[in-house]
Structure 1
């Protein structure tokens, strides 16, 4: 590994774990955004919703967040929606959020495939919640599965 890459990794390790995403002129943007950083150092842009105001969701990554009175945000759970039913996905996020004490849901819309959503979830969970990343390996399967995770 080159010295440049090592320096970049050390810099990313010191970077804030989460930060507001300033989009153009913040006062004109109706929906706030927030960055959360993964163990890889990659920043993931999330759209912020109040738990009660979160709309129906397809397959997305989410972070259930408690936002304190002082504005600090604490991640409580990181996951992804899995149902083909948008209303079931929303019900799951709201129920889980209510049980954990979340008052915000941060949605990461960008991953398009199940594999990309799993990778984002593992990266974010490792940094934000201290979870051990799940190891996935490619495996041939007749059922269309992309990988096997252990």
Structure 2
């Protein structure tokens, strides 16, 4: 294999000349050699960076565990969505529903395969977790009613519903992740 070095004549002749390197031949199969070299380099890059790509995102110590979505700031939907962060650094986007004491189930919509976070707010608007509920298909209606009653009694003012977790084990893991960062003693009801 030979490398051809060409200097560009339109650039000033200094010690820092711009050069182009090209493969001119490799036993008659320059294209396939180039492809093999590129594949080798790509595989090597993946191996070196696999740990950094797959590593969990760590939350900075001063980052809040719950925030409004910055992309919706100032818009009509700003109060309808909220994000909770877990100990792993993952963000869990939730739809926000107000607690309505006059409505059935205090305004908590009927969802299966969801995580419900009962949230209270202090005078300054700071949100705090009151309780969690893991919703599954075939849920016990009495357990759900008990959760709603206990959450409202404990000061819940909003229902934050996370719908994007795929299976019961992952929903349970997400609850534990959020719970670990928010408040370790938050009551969690079994799947209903």
TM-score by length of 1: 0.69
CA 82–15 in structure 1, closer or farther in 2 if over 3 Å, else same:
same
Report the 3-state secondary structure (helix = DSSP H, G, I; strand = E; otherwise coil) of the residue aligned with 1:13: coil
Report the 3-state secondary structure (helix = DSSP H, G, I; strand = E; otherwise coil) of the residue aligned with 2:112: coil
**Equivalent pair of 1:36/1:44 in contact (CA under 8 Å):** yes
Give CA-to-partner distance per residue, 1:102-131, whole Å, 9 cap, x none.
Answer: 111111110120011011011011111125
1:78 paired to 2:126: no
Deviation at 1:30, TM superposition (A): 8.0
TM-score by length of 2: 0.55
Give CA-to-partner distance per residue, 1:21-55, whole Å, 9 cap, x none.
Answer: 14447533386111111011111101111122321
Report the 3-state secondary structure (helix = DSSP H, G, I; strand = E; otherwise coil) of the residue aligned with 1:126: helix
Equivalent position to 1:17, from 65, 73, 89: 65
1:38 paired to 2:92: no
Gaps of 5+ in 2: 1-50, 101-106, 186-192
Equivalent position to 1:98, from 124, 144, 152: 152
Q: Distance in 2 between matches of 1:26 and 1:91?
A: 35
Tell me which stretches of 4 or more aligned residues in structure 1 moved more than 4 Å. Answer: 23-26, 85-90
Report the 3-state secondary structure (helix = DSSP H, G, I; strand = E; otherwise coil) of the residue aligned with 1:84: coil
Deviation at 1:93, TM superposition (A): 4.0
Q: Distance in 1 between matches of 2:96 and 2:143?
A: 16
Number of equivalent positions: 127
**Alignment RMSD (CA, Å):** 3.0
Alignment of 1:44-83 (within 5 A): 44-52=92-100, 53-82=107-136
Q: Distance in 1 between matches of 2:80 and 2:60?
A: 24
Q: Distance in 2 between matches of 1:119 and 1:89?
A: 20
